[in-house]
Chain A
Amino acid sequence: EEESSGHDEL
């Protein structure tokens, strides 16, 4: 599993 990039936030 990859590290969450946080790019799903605004």
Chain B
Amino acid sequence: MNVFRLAGDMTHLLSIIVLLLKINATRSCRGISLKTQELYAVVFVCRYLDLFTNFISLYNTVMKIIFLVSTFTIIYWMRFHKVIRVTYDREQDTFRYQFLVLPCLVLALLLNNEFTAMEVLWTFSIYLEAVAILPQLVLLQRTNNIDNLTGNYVFLLGSYRALYILNWVYRFMTEKHYRQYLVWISGIVQTIIYIDFFYYYIKSWRNNEKLSLPA
């Protein structure tokens, strides 16, 4: 494992810790999109099916379990926790799942490395992850008052895939048979989706102002 990959994984892990902390400490999930969290749950379940079939490393297994458990915990809190669920911006979080899920499913059926159930679901998870942040970004645009932790959460989540791109470049140069065009294109799309957010996040940080996204 190279330094970019590790930095990417740690950024991803940190984003989830920030989100868990925010919700748990403030007893509020204001500004957080349940749709995005549920899409991530689908992404992790589809991608990590190999937990049952293929052991890669202890690190790999532990991280996968952390991502699954933390995402389902957040969904449970937002849906069922008696204090937290009333803070969910239900009326604002209106993005439709099917607009993201269906195209990704069709694309995974058409464009994959191998036409098997496991491989198609894995590819589907790669495509879906690329766009799963969209409901969250739409919700942030509608939220006038974005708190710091929510801003940091989205920033860390966006940074993680950008670091993965560096990891892919590194692996491409150092590993003889590392060719993952579908993943690379998806990762680039995923990072591009954040560029607007990154711009306003860095601007607000430099000017020491509260983050807000123009509608």
Looking at the complex, which one of B57, B63, B167, B177 makes contact with A2 (CB distance below 8 Å)? B177
**B177 near A9 (CB under 8 angstroms)?**
no
Range for the number of chain A residues in contact with chain B: 10 to 19
Question: For chain A residues 1-10, which have a beta carbon within 8 Å of chain B?
Answer: 1-10
Query: Which residues of A are interface residues toward B (Cβ below 8 A)?
Result: 1-10
B-side contacts of A3, CB under 8 Å: 177-179
What CA separation (Å) do A1 and B177 show in the bound complex? 8
**20 contacting pairs across A/B (C-beta < 8 A):** A1-B176, A1-B177, A3-B179, A4-B175, A4-B177, A4-B179, A4-B180, A6-B178, A6-B180, A6-B183, A7-B50, A7-B56, A7-B122, A8-B56, A8-B57, A8-B60, A9-B167, A10-B12, A10-B63, A10-B64
Given contacts A2-B177, A3-B179, 19 further A-B contacts (CB under 8 A): A3-B177, A3-B178, A4-B175, A4-B177, A4-B178, A4-B179, A4-B180, A6-B178, A6-B180, A6-B183, A7-B50, A7-B122, A8-B60, A9-B5, A9-B164, A10-B9, A10-B60, A10-B64, A10-B67
A-side contacts of B60, CB under 8 Å: 8, 10
Range for the number of chain B residues in contact with chain A: 20 to 34
B54 at interface, CB cutoff 8 A: yes
**B113 near A5 (CB under 8 angstroms)?**
yes
The SS class assigned to the A binding surface is: loop
Q: Closest CB-CB distance, B94 to chain A, in whole Å?
A: 30
Q: Closest CB-CB distance, A5 to chain B, in whole Å?
A: 7
